[in-house]
């Protein structure tokens, strides 16, 4: 079996899937979509349209907590690989880091359940960097132990995607697991081949220019006060580091660095997020405005042909929650090379398993 059939839980709009489908090693080794599921209807529609347009029924909309995984997903066909970017709400350092004690923290267990039921040859799981420290590190240790108990040799690593040429400083824990009965041994792909790449946000957004009729490219209406504030903020500065007049200052005890932060055009963007209110939309370096969703999608390395379904705010959330397509592709290519016996440049994992 050289075409791995991929199943996905918490599939999001398809950043992982697009990376998987575009991963190429040899003509004989690749990854194909088998089924996917997510709780958000817009997200499912986006995934189905872009990843499996000819088989939209293979994307199951529903709450995994109320789903009979074996029946609802198993009937969609056998899988050789599983991917799941389990919800990060309770692991993010921005939140309370409730970890396994939160509402979303235990959802990783459904990925483990799917591993136990389907026993794919390998898997990829993704979450925020804060996963390592939630519950004083006990949550991460428990998750890895449960994955091992399901039958897998795991390789966790904190990937800094800007080091792989992605035009965004996005740091995520990725766990790759190879079934214990496989002879393949996964290694973390090296960042060395990507040194010297110009992955600045200016290049990502402007080269080539976005077509006027590109999908999901609507401008956000900025209030006069926001425009005035942004005009006082230099590239790379935010509302708290800029020299703002009194009437434009943000009065809050929590000074989050991304509030009204303008991009530095000569560096990768800061992390694209899917949540938050005013001041968190990512702001252009020269124009006094928030980025469009299409510009944000470019920072996540989605192609301009990728169409997101739903309202502008729904699309913003989907893009912010996704895994950068190119980052996912690089990891999937390393997995494919592992099974194909193709040598590649690798480095030691930075997280002990």
Three-class SS of the chain = CCEEEEEEECCCCCHHHHHHHHCCCECCEEEEEEEEEECCHHHHHHHHHHHCCCCHHHEEECCHHHCCHHHHCHHHCCCCEEEECCCCCCCCCCCCCCHHHCCCHHHHHHHHHHHHHHCCCEEEEEEEHHHHCHHHHHHHHHHHHHHHHCCEEEEEEEEEHHHHCCCECCEEEEEEEEECCCCCCCCEECCHHHCCCCCCHHHHHHCCCCCCCCCCCCCCCCCHHHHHHHHCCCCCCCCCCCCCCHHHCCCCCCCCCCCCCECCCCCCECCCCCCCCCCCCCECCCCCCECCHHHHHHHCCCCCCCCCCCCHHHHHHHHHHCCCHHHHHHHHHHHHHHHHCCCCCEECCCCCC
Q: Which residue numbers are catalytic?
A: 88
**Alpha carbon separation from 308 to 13, 33, 46, 149, 201 (Å, rounded):** 8, 19, 5, 37, 21
Residue 61 is predicted with a pLDDT of: 97
| pLDDT at residue 91 in the model | 41
How many beta carbons lie within 10 A of that of residue 97, not counting itself?
Answer: 21
What pLDDT sits at residue 101? 47
2, two tokens: 């050289």
Residue 328 to residue 339: CA distance in whole angstroms: 17
- Residue 36 belongs to some domain of the structure: yes
- Say if residue 311 is exposed, middle or buried (CB neighbours under 10 Å; 0-12, 13-18, 19+): exposed
Q: Which domain range does residue 124 map to? A: 3-194+323-347
Q: Is residue 95 part of a domain?
A: yes
DSSP-derived pairing of the beta strands 346-347 and 188-189: antiparallel
The total domain count for the chain is 1
pLDDT at 168: 98
Domain annotation covers residue 201: no
Asked, for residue 266, whether it belongs to a domain, the answer is no
Residue whose token pair is 């002879």:
183
Residue 278's pLDDT is what? 75
- Cα separation, 70 vs 9, whole angstroms: 13
Q: Does residue 111 sit within a domain?
A: yes
Residue for token pair 């709780």: 39
Is the preceding omega at residue 167 within 30 degrees of 0, hence cis? Answer: no
pLDDT tens digits for 55-111? 999 999 999 889 999 999 999 999 999 999 876 554 444 444 444 544 444 688 899
CATH label of the domain that carries residue 35: 3.40.50.150
Burial class (CB in 10 A: 0-12, 13-18, 19+), 294: buried
Residue 176 has phi, psi (to 5 degrees) of: -105, 130
Domain membership flag for residue 296: no
* Residue 90 resides in a domain: yes
Q: Which of 219, 205, 235 is nearest to 299 (CA)?
A: 205
pTM of the model: 0.94
Tens digits of pLDDT across the chain (353 residues): 579 999 999 999 999 999 999 998 988 899 999 999 999 999 999 999 999 999 999 999 999 889 999 999 999 999 999 999 876 554 444 444 444 544 444 688 899 999 999 999 999 999 877 777 766 677 888 899 999 999 999 999 999 999 999 999 999 999 999 999 999 999 999 999 999 999 999 999 999 999 989 999 999 899 999 999 999 999 999 999 999 999 999 987 777 788 999 999 999 999 999 877 778 889 999 999 999 999 999 999 999 999 999 999 999 999 999 999 999 999 999 999 999 999 999 999 998 76
pLDDT of residue 68: 94
Residue 338 β-bridge partners:
none
Q: Is residue 181 in some structural domain? A: yes
Among left, alpha and beta (phi > 0; psi -120 to 50; other), residue 165 is left
């Amino acid at each position: 079996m050289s075409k791995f059939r991929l199943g996905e839980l918490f599939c999001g709009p398809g950043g992982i899937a697009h990376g998987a489908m575009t991963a190429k090693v040899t003509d004989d080794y690749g990854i194909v979509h088998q089924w996917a599921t997510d709780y958000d209807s817009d997200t499912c529609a986006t995934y189905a349209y872009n990843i499996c347009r000819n088989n939209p029924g293979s994307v199951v909309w529903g709450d995994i907590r109320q789903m009979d995984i074996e029946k609802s997903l198993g009937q969609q066909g056998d899988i050789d690989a599983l991917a799941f970017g389990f919800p990060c709400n309770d692991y993010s350092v921005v939140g309370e880091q409730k970890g396994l004690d939160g509402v979303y923290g235990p959802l990783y267990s459904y990925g483990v359940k799917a591993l136990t039921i389907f026993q794919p040859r390998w898997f990829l799981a993704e979450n925020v960097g804060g996963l390592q420290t939630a519950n004083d590190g006990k949550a991460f240790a428990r998750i890895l132990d449960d994955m091992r108990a399901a039958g897998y040799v795991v390789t966790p690593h904190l990937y800094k995607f800007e080091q792989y040429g992605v035009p965004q400083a996005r740091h995520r824990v990725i766990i790759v697991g190879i079934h214990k009965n496989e002879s393949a041994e996964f290694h973390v792909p090296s960042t060395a081949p990507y040194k010297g790449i110009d992955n600045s946000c200016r290049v990502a957004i402007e080269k080539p220019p976005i077509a006027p009729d590109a999908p999901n490219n609507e401008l956000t209406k900025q209030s006069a006060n926001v425009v005035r504030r942004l005009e006082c903020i230099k590239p790379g500065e935010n509302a708290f580091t800029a020299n703002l007049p009194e009437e434009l200052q943000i009065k809050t005890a929590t000074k989050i660095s991304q509030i009204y932060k303008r991009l530095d055009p000569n560096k990768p963007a800061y992390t694209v997020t899917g949540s938050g209110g005013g001041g968190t939309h990512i702001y252009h370096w020269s124009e006094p405005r928030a980025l469009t969703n299409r510009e944000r999608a470019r920072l996540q390395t989605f192609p301009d042909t990728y169409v997101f379904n739903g309202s502008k705010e729904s699309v913003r959330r989907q893009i912010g929650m996704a895994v950068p397509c190119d980052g996912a592709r690089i990891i999937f290519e390393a997995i494919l090379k592992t099974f194909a016996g193709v040598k590649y440049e690798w480095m030691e994992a930075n997280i002990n398993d």
